[in-house]
Structure formats: structure tokens, C-alpha cells
Amino acid sequence: MVFSENKPIYLQITDKIMDAIVAGEYPADERLPSVREYAANVEVNANTVMRSYDWLQQQGIIYNRRGIGFFVMPNAVSDIVKMRRKIFFKDEAEYFFRRIASFGITPEELSDLYREHLIGKV
């Protein structure tokens, strides 16, 4: 995994895990890779992955079954989407809207582009 310098590595790992949960790679109530296994896969220290798992557990995204491992909460996908929407509207939307306005993109153009984007995803 390639990491950026703009965000702590453990938070970049949490983003990657949440992406995988939303994509269905880790379904509800399914076990995540062990801390050591995940650390080996992304080539970081196991303590960094443990910090990521702790953060996800504190957010109610995963839970720990002692001696067995970490599992995805049943409501993880909806909770991740809610969390990310909140962050987007709080931290990112204003910048996004300022940028598109500076490019002269009209609401209609933006709507058309978004529709095309969604159709392309199908």
C-alpha cells in the first residue's frame, strides 16, 4: 500500500478497510484478517494496524471477539456512509463547490456530469 504524508498511516488504513467493507469485501459479521496478517499485507508494523482496528472499534465499525479476532458490525456499511457523508458536507463540500464555481460549471452541467458518472458505474 502506498501512503501519503498528509494523513497518519493508521487513518489511511482505516479508510482502506472501510472502503473494503462498503464494497462488500468484508461482509457483516465476517472476520477481518488478523492484525499480523493485515500488517504483512500492507507492509506496516502490527502496532499500526492494531491502532487502526482500535479506531474502527471505537467508531462501532468492527467488534472484537476475544481470542478469535475482529469482525464487521452488522450496521457497518450504513454507519460508514453516514460518517463519510457528514465529513464530506462538513469538510469537503465547500471547497468542492468553490472549485466548480471558479471553473464556471453550472448546476445543470454538474448534474449532467454526475448522471453520466453514475451511468458509467452501472
Question: CATH code for 9-75?
Answer: 1.10.10.10
Provide the whole-model pTM: 0.81
Mean pLDDT, rounded, for 5-31 = 96
Q: How far apart are the first and last CA of the chain?
A: 27
DSSP 102: H
pLDDT tier for residue 122 given thresholds of 50, 70 and 90: low
Q: Is 72 exposed, middle or buried (0-12, 13-18, 19+ CB in 10 A)?
A: buried
Other residues' Cβ atoms within 10 Å of the Cβ of residue 40 = 13
For the chain, the domains span: 9-75, 77-121
* Residues 72 and 60: beta-carbon distance below 8 Å: no
3-state per-residue secondary structure call for 15-45: HHHHHHHHCCCCCCCCECCCHHHHHHHHCCC
- pLDDT above 90: residue 5: no
Cell of 22: 462498503
